[in-house]
Amino acid sequence: MTSNALKPIDDTPTAIDNFDYDDPSASPIRGAHGKFDNAEYYTGKEKTRIEDGRRFVVLDKASGFVFLKKGCQPEYLMHIAGKPKPERPACGDESDWPIGLDGKASCPWKWNNFVYLIDAETGESLTFSTHTVGGDIVIRDLTAQIKSMRNLRPGAMPVVELASTMMPTAFGKKPRPHFKITGWRDRTVVEEPPPQLEAPEYDEAPEFDDSIAEF
């Protein structure tokens, strides 16, 4: 079952082997891992800046809990589309919680949203992730636009540029991510060709009885 919250999910079991199942604990990152910080987009721990003007096709989205703590490997508990939202795992001893940017300790299990993108020219994969209020807004806005367009063009996928905009906060206006839609593409569905009827085989060519022929 694929994790696509942008379309209704048929929950009828169709899996034929384990390749058809999503593993909720597997990493949801595909390709480079992109994040937004201070009005810019970066990838990787080295914070390699994503160049302006690149256009990406939006393929899908996902969400789930991510365990992030310095010195520990990340862990995941992903939401499977069409299923109830999973409960947050136990946060552990509060004395071991990481300190956030606000100077307060917080549970290391945080709800994250992911958007799967592919470079419209190079085909490079990019997963944008966020657990901020501004990130939630950009995904909510993007989802609404996709749903509206799909009422006219089923399967439509937006082409976006990674931009930023300002939003009000308790500390004044701050930049937040913004996906600027520059166009649309259609998702191609490959259908199986209808089965071809084979001509009957004869040991010898059938004889034509002209006694019953009508002209």
- Per residue in 32-63, pLDDT tens? 999 999 999 999 988 999 999 999 999 999 99
For the whole model, what pTM was predicted? Answer: 0.77
Residue 31 CA: distances (Å) to CA of 2, 28, 44, 92, 138: 18, 10, 10, 31, 21
Residue pLDDT, tens place only, 134-185? 999 999 999 999 999 999 999 999 999 999 999 998 888 999 999 999 999 9
Judged against a pLDDT cut of 90, whether residue 86 lies above it is answered with yes
Report the distance separating Cα 45 and Cα 99, nearest Å. 19
Q: Tell me if 112 is assigned to some domain.
A: yes
Range of the domain at 35: 18-186
Q: Tell me if 206 is assigned to some domain.
A: no
Report the distance separating Cα 159 and Cα 184, nearest Å. 5
Token pair belonging to 70 = 């310095």
Instruction: Give the count of domains, the chain.
Output: 1
Query: Residue 82's pLDDT is what?
Result: 86
Terminal-to-terminal C-alpha distance of the chain = 60
Q: Tell me if 202 is assigned to some domain.
A: no
Judged against a pLDDT cut of 90, whether residue 206 lies above it is answered with no
List the one residue out of 154, 153, 175, 157 whose CA is nearest residue 166. 175
Query: For the chain, how many helices (H) and strands (E)?
Result: 1, 9
